[in-house]
Amino acid sequence: MKLAILGSGFISRFYADALIGQRRKDEITTVYSRTLSNASKFADDYKVPHYTVNLKECVSRADVDAVVIGLSNDMHLDAVLACAEAGKHVLCTKPLGRNAKEAFEMLQAVEKAGVTGGYLEDLVYSPKSLKAVATIKNGAVGEVIWARSRETHPGPHSEWFWDKEKSGGGAIIDLGCHCVELCRNYIGKNIRPVEVMCWADTRFHPIDAEDNAVGLVRYENGAVGQFEVSWSFRGGMDLRDEVMGTEGTIWINNFLRTGFEMFTSGKGGDYIAEKAESNTGWLFPVGDEVNELGYNHMFTDMFDSIEANTQPKENFYDGYIVNAILDAAFVSAKSKKWEPVEIKDWRGITESKKEKQLTCYDDDYYLIKEEILPGGEKKYIVKNKKTGSIERR
């Protein structure tokens, strides 16, 4: 695959590292940046033969099969429309839009042009997340009732994140997009999100956007997805997921506590991990950051899907649904009420909340719980089917 990269900053460098990390046959042929010196440096660092400050020239080149967008949120719409006009497959970083309106316009553009729109939601592709989703699909945890995803760190790298107009919001749009899509994968992306309750506040930074938030997303089948995000968490980047089902539980720690710990006086001063706040004392490096955060697996899926003319696991429709959920979160944060998720084009299933499947103890009683006591005897808590009384056996 011959690729153009739009953007020369932090995320574009992560992408460039990953693009040759697994398939090892893809080539970056051109890079765009708004600043010529940044474009030139990126080209030198990654041995890219061409660089430019003209976006349309970049995506229209004959030696470009697909375009990877690593630009600020306010530039996504124009960049995607340029790619669609040029007939190029386009892979866009998260969030797809600053809001659902922008995301839906991008979705329509790529579908009208007949090109692939890949949504670069890397954390869905982390090895642990992929394993968790496969485990859930195999029925190991039963029906998922509740999923929780947390991403917190001391705040983003670039200045535009902190500008509400350019980014579309604060920690909710930056980090909540990850958490919402992870929960969708655990609960089932074909299950419709119905409504959102969200608390958000600016607790620490002198900005207009929120730097902390907690939200609940209720799904049509009764499941709940919970997101927790912060730009004021100290100590690095904390990425954790939990999934609770009727038959089991999954707990995932993707960052901060990875099983790799070291102590150093600081001699050498090497890079430790994304959002690490120190390079001295006890530290928590990540063995292969690009791989652990899902970038390699993400691009493999994207390019394999383009070659097979199929949709990638994460596509522009997913990006649109995430934006629709986050729109409801922003409304709820102001109203302090549950707010509906407005979706123009729902493509999943529509179902009512499932009737509870009650376990019988015998013909007269339902079983609530059974356990073994310290003395070795079994205890049963049961409910009388006729009277409703709770009893012990």
Averages of pLDDT over runs of 10 residues in the chain (393 residues) are 94 88 80 96 95 96 97 98 98 98 98 97 95 95 97 90 94 97 98 98 94 97 97 90 96 81 73 65 75 90 93 97 98 98 94 73 93 90 94 92
Q: Is residue 176 part of a domain?
A: yes
Q: Which residue has the tokens 């302090």?
A: 336
In terms of domains, do 66 and 115 share one?
yes
Burial of 346 (0-12, 13-18, 19+ CB in 10 A): middle
Contact 343, 324 (CB under 8 A): yes
Cα–Cα distances (Å) from 160 to 9, 97, 174, 338, in that order, read 12, 15, 11, 30
Domains in the chain: how many in total?
3
pLDDT of residue 334: 97
pLDDT of residue 346: 97
pLDDT of residue 274: 60
- Domain of residue 302, residue span: 124-340
Q: Is residue 350 part of a domain?
A: no
Strands 27-32, 50-52: parallel, antiparallel or unpaired by DSSP? parallel
Q: What is the DSSP string of 214-252?
A: EEEEEETTS-EEEEEEES---SS-EEEEEEEESS-EEEE
In terms of domains, do 217 and 154 share one?
yes
CB neighbour burial string for 270-309, b if at least 16 within 10 angstroms, e if fewer: eebbbbbeeeeeebbebeebbbbbbbbbbbbbbbebbeee
Angstrom distance (rounded) from CA 389 to CA 312: 52
Q: Facing residues of 68 across strands?
A: 5, 91
pLDDT of residue 205: 92
pLDDT of residue 276: 63
Number of separate helices (H) and strands (E) present in the chain: 12, 18
In terms of domains, do 306 and 381 share one?
no
Q: Is residue 252 part of a domain?
A: yes
pLDDT of residue 390: 96
Angle at 73 between CA 331 and CA 158, to 5 degrees: 110
Q: Is residue 352 part of a domain?
A: no
pLDDT of residue 275: 60
**Backbone torsion region of residue 281, taken as left when φ is above 0, otherwise alpha when ψ lies between -120 and 50, otherwise beta:** left
pLDDT of residue 182: 98
Eight-class DSSP state of 174: I
Domain end residue (candidates: 102, 121, 140)? 121
